[in-house]
Amino acid sequence: MKTVLITGGGSGIGRQFCRLFAADGYRLVVFSLVQEELDDLSAELRRDFPSIESVLVQKDVARDGAADEVFAYCQQQQLSIDVLVNNAGFCAFGDHVAIDGRRMESMLKLNVLGLTQMCRVFGEDMKRRGGGKILNVGSMAGYIPTVGMAAYCASKAYVNNFSAGLAAELADYGVQVSVLCPPATQSKFMATAKGDDDTGKAVEKFVSGKMFSAEDVAKAGYKGLFAGKRRISVTGMLRFSMFMMQLFSPDALANMTLKQVKKHKAA
């Protein structure tokens, strides 16, 4: 039986990934920060996929040393990971200088460092074994610097580009690395990202008008992963973003988003 490890699997896109892998007969190893989400997921899996084995663990994968601890846990449980889905992450809306420093640090640790370290420890194991798949959840936001979510966009730009570099490094060893670049998605994303200042509220309005379902995003990621794609889009949105990057400089793109945020502030 093949095994998939999914971070942030208790809700949203991660939860939909759990359902997709379970439907294909994978053993699930799911890490999430919120125990209540794991309890709910456990009940759902028992109901809808009674024959599937699942291991659900409450853990903060952004904490220092967490990736090594997760790998050690899998070794102790004799769980050889065939597919790693780095889905855990969050956003903080608002003027960068107004966002709480600890919240900002937590976001960057999870979105950047946690993902990077998980790729290191499990990528090394896959390289040694001569095969495996890694799917990192990036974002279209990584291609468009956006007012009111500057650090988040930068963190996802890191994920998008890190994934491309890692894919090239590991390809000769039979390890596939893909990055899913979704647009705004209907999930806990909005509730977690909510900002208290005027900019945060305006960005929330701006983003919420263009949202895809978590189910559709996960399906696109799943299909793209097993089609061997390195960069995975949802519909044609990614191609549009990359086209915009070719036409406009980062400064011009940021100024475009500034106009949209100001418009939603005035609304």
3-state SS string for 156-199: HHHHHHHHHHHHHHHHHHCEEEEEECCCCEECCHHHHHCCCCHH
Q: 83: part of which helix (H) or strand (E)?
A: strand 83-86
* 173 classed as catalytic: no
Paired tokens of 98: 């107004």
Counting Cβ atoms within 10 Å, is residue 244 exposed (0-12), middle (13-18) or buried (19+)?
A: middle
Select which of 26, 73, 143, 152 is catalytic: 152
C-beta of residue 89 within 8 angstroms of C-beta of residue 111: yes
* 3-class SS of residue 257: helix
Paired tokens of 63: 């904490």
Half-sphere exposure in the Cβ direction for 142 (13 Å, CA): 22
- Spatial CB neighbours of 95, under 8 Å, sequence gap ≥ 6: 148, 197, 199, 200
**Radius of gyration, alpha carbons of the chain:** 18
Cα–Cα distance measured from residue 131 to residue 199, given in angstroms and rounded to the nearest whole number? 45
Cα–Cα distance measured from residue 147 to residue 162, given in angstroms and rounded to the nearest whole number? 23
**Torsional class of 94: left (φ above 0), alpha (ψ -120 to 50), beta (otherwise):** left
Known catalytic residues are: 152
